[in-house]
Amino acid sequence: DFDTLGQRIHPAASRVNMLAEKTPASFIAFDLLALDDQSFLDEAYPRRRQRLETALADARPPVHLTPVTQDADTARQWFEMFEGAGLDGLIAKPADLAYLPGKRPMYKIKHARTADVVVAGFRWHKSAVETKDAVGSMLLGLYDDQGRLHHVGVSASFSMARRKELVAELAPCRIDVADHPWARWGATEDLDGQRMPGAPSRWSGKKDLSWAPLRPELVCEVGYDYLEGGDRFRHTAQFKRWRPDRDPKSCGYPQLDRPVRFDVDQVLGGRPEEKQ
């Protein structure tokens, strides 16, 4: 839960006890690099895992061990099921390698999905704040069943040449923010559940949150891996292609896959059970 975890970044002292009681944290161990004065850096992962299991043989919640398997079928099952507990994939490690500080000899296996979204605005690239000749990120939206457009994420992985091309491509759709569905984006009052870009928060500080509004007419296909909170992309979405054949109003939440929910405690025990 990245939202809950984010509340614990540099909290005021007065919030520490409240957060510990309201949203208690768990510790999930996945490797053991040393114990007392003994280093295990030169040992292969299976041996380090054995040492970890021995060291935490009597561990009880909120201390957990990650599930681990060398069986491909079990891993495939976990890949499908664990997503419903808020996990966005699996980690695969070569069994014969020692620990390599500063390197990541592992593979993160994540879900790959696509969605058709409305391009409702953009931000200038950090190098083009003054020149206005390069797009930094495109702001993406989806409609709910009430016809409200929600900000669900951004797409930002473009070459500099492509960023400059996007300025001209998006120009015909630029409008005044007063005419945009997100006209109240900077409001501090209740927005009745509608997600908008750049609302001030304890994380934004003095960061420039301004953006250029676009008529919600452009549709593109993006790739994504996981939905945070069920209503926005956890990570930056990857632009795939423009979809001029799609009606923007048809770009809603129903197209998004919803994984079957599982209790994270069952996941940590390696035996996920479907929530009712």
pLDDT in tens, 139-183: 999 999 999 999 999 999 999 999 999 999 999 999 999 999 999
pLDDT value of position 236: 94
Query: Which residues does 155 contact at the CB level (< 8 Å), separation at least 6?
Result: 137, 138, 140, 220, 222, 236, 237, 238, 239
Same-domain status, 35 and 53: yes
Q: Which stretch of DSSP H or E encloses residue 219?
A: strand 212-224
What range does the domain containing 174 cover? 113-245
Compute the distance between CA of residue 142 and CA of residue 232 in angstroms, rounded to an integer.
9
Look up the CATH number of the domain holding residue 16: 3.30.470.30
Same-domain status, 123 and 65: no
pLDDT value of position 49: 96
Residue 47, both tokens: 């041996």
pLDDT value of position 226: 85
pLDDT value of position 150: 96
pLDDT in tens, 4-55: 777 777 778 788 888 888 888 889 999 999 999 999 999 999 999 999 999 9
Tell whether the model's pLDDT for residue 272 goes beyond 50.
no
Q: Return the exposure string of 4-15: e unless at least 16 CB atoms fall within 10 Å of the residue's CB, then b.
A: eeeeeeeeeeee
Same-domain status, 235 and 121: yes
pTM: 0.77
Same-domain status, 143 and 62: no
Domain for residue 198, yes or no? yes
Q: How far is CA 3 from CA 8, 111, 133, 270, in A?
A: 9, 20, 34, 25
pLDDT value of position 190: 66
Mean pLDDT value across the chain:
88
Query: Which residues does 259 contact at the CB level (< 8 Å), separation at least 6?
Result: 83, 84
Residue 44, both tokens: 């292969």
Arithmetic mean of pLDDT, 55-81: 91
Look up the CATH number of the domain holding residue 219: 2.40.50.140
pLDDT in tens, 200-212: 555 455 567 789 9
Domain for residue 77, yes or no? yes
Domain for residue 42, yes or no? yes
pLDDT value of position 200: 52
Same-domain status, 73 and 128: no
Cross-strand pairs, 237? 155
Residue 229, both tokens: 């909170």
Number of domains in the chain: 2
